[in-house]
Amino acid sequence: MPDSILAARGVAKLFGARPERFVTDGRLSADAAALSAAGIVPAVIDVDLDIARGETFVIMGLSGSGKSTLVRCLSGLTPTTAGEILFEGRDLAKMPEHELIRIRRHQMGMVFQNFALLPHLTVLGNVAFPLDVQGRPRAEREARALEMIKLVGLGGREDRFPRELSGGQQQRVGIARSLAVGPDLWFLDEPFSALDPLIRREMQDEVLRLQGLLKKTIVFITHDFDEAVRIADRIAIMKDGRVAQIGSAEELVLNPATDYVRAFTRDAPRAKILTARSVMAPVAGASDFAGRIDAGSRIASFAHDVESSEKPFAVVERGEVIGVVDRLAMIDVLVGRERKVAA
């Protein structure tokens, strides 16, 4: 990927006695059976991925799939057993410790599931804390912290303590703190899983709003496919430490690479994921269209109009008609029946 900010090349993370004996020339050299026989637990196995600058990249899987271990490797918090983590083309493992610390303090931000706020500090103190670690002057760090507090909608609460805030407000403090250093790369490890559904959706909206303003590169960890669909540009699905497939939500639903991915996406909200392009049929000669739909429009945005019309709708791209959608296409989507995309 030409504008990759973060990449993994053959990354593996093993837990157990002397895992390095299963690594040859920097790569994992044993299969799952050999690792199991030796009492080694492979948390991450042979992961290759590229994350583009400005992309929202979601890593997801069930509990124990390796997603949180992978993100700790990607952020430099956990050293890999094999392979390389490349940040802006440089291998994190080959950097001097002081350089790695500098990158993590100045170019990476993290938000955790449990908020990890310091209970004895106010909102202002918590948000300013990473700037204090950097050694910034007090006036500078407090001005920056107040700016971030306002950005996440907590203006006027800077003197409150974490115990005086709701769960959603505490998570907003965590988000503000992670953004205070102006990171190039923003890691969010299941940040909303402990929140109530309504607050969780509100926080998803907040991430989307902030991404629209700040254009950060986001690596987001979740086990919830609906959450991934809402925020992701691309999604990596993990199983047993391996990446089963990487693609957009639409690609994963329409073209699952494995039975596991197919099962994982079976109950996905197809109308919110699939576009007109994915369900259109070829144009059969001249037609009397009820209207025009952009090829990239999500089905949920036009399903009602199509279902209530006896005439098909033209699917257009760059002003040209490239296909049609009709009532039958809507039925296919609702029952989960796949249609071949028109050439």
Show the beta-strand stretches assigned E in the chain.
Answer: 4-15, 23-24, 27-28, 41-52, 56-60, 82-87, 90-91, 108-111, 185-189, 217-222, 234-239, 242-247, 292-294, 313-317, 320-325
Residue 82 and residue 50 share a domain: yes
Predicted confidence at residue 341, as pLDDT, reads 43
Query: Comparing C-alpha atoms, which of 51, 47, 44, 45 is closest to residue 7?
Result: 51
- Tokens, residue 31: 């299969």
Q: Given pLDDT bands bounded at 50, 70 and 90, which one contains residue 115?
A: confident
Domain end residue (candidates: 248, 264, 280): 264
Looking at the structure, tell me whether residues 25 and 89 fall in a common domain. yes
Domain assignment present for residue 125? The answer is no
Q: End of a domain among 264, 279, 302?
A: 264
138-192 residue pLDDT tens: 999 999 999 999 999 999 999 999 999 998 899 999 999 999 988 999 999 888 8
Q: Do 227 and 329 sit in the same domain of this protein?
A: no
pLDDT at 337: 56
pLDDT tier at 2, thresholds 50, 70, 90: low
User: Residue 6 carries which DSSP code?
Assistant: E
Determine the 3-state secondary structure of 193 from DSSP.
Answer: coil
Asked whether residue 25 carries a pLDDT value surpassing 80, the answer given is yes
Residues 243 and 314 in one domain: no
Q: What is the pLDDT of residues 198-227, one digit of tens each?
A: 888 888 998 999 899 889 999 999 988 889
With b for 16 or more beta-carbon neighbours within 10 A and e for fewer, the 235-251 pattern comes to: bbbbbebbbbbbbebbb
215 and 278 inside one domain: no
Handedness of CA 303, 304, 307, 309 (dihedral sign): negative
67 and 202 housed in the same domain: yes
Rounded Cα–Cα distance for residues 100 and 282 (Å): 54
DSSP labels, 207-257:
HHHHHHHH--EEEEEES-HHHHHHH-SEEEEEETTEEEEEE-HHHHHHS-S
Mean confidence (pLDDT) of the chain: 90
Same structural domain, 259 and 190: yes
Helix (H, G, I), strand (E, B) or coil at 56: strand
Segment 300-318 mean pLDDT = 90
Kindly provide the b/e burial profile for residues 257-287, where b requires at least 16 CB atoms within 10 angstroms of the residue's own CB.
eeebbeebbeebbbbebbbbbbbbbebeeee
Same domain, 315 and 192: no
- What percent of the chain has pLDDT above 90? 66
Domains identified in the chain, total number:
2
**Could you tell me if residue 94 is inside a domain?**
yes
Return the number of other C-beta atoms located less than 10 Å from residue 34's C-beta.
11
* CATH number for the domain that contains residue 233: 3.40.50.300
| Predicted pLDDT at 286 | 64
Domain residues for the domain of 314 are 270-335
The answer to the question of residue 127 being in a domain is no
Whether residue 341 lies inside any domain: the answer is no
Same domain, 102 and 221: yes
Residues 94 and 201 in one domain: yes
As a whole number of angstroms, the distance between CA 214 and CA 148 comes to 12
Would 162 be classed as within a structural domain?
no
Does 22 share its domain with 98?
yes
**In a shared domain, residues 218 and 236:** yes
Q: Say if 202 falls within a structural domain.
A: yes
Domain boundary among 214, 242, 264: 264
- Report if residue 282 sits inside a domain: yes
User: Can you give the CATH number for the domain in which 327 is found?
Assistant: 3.90.1280.20
Strand partners, 44: 13
pLDDT reading at 343 higher than 80: no
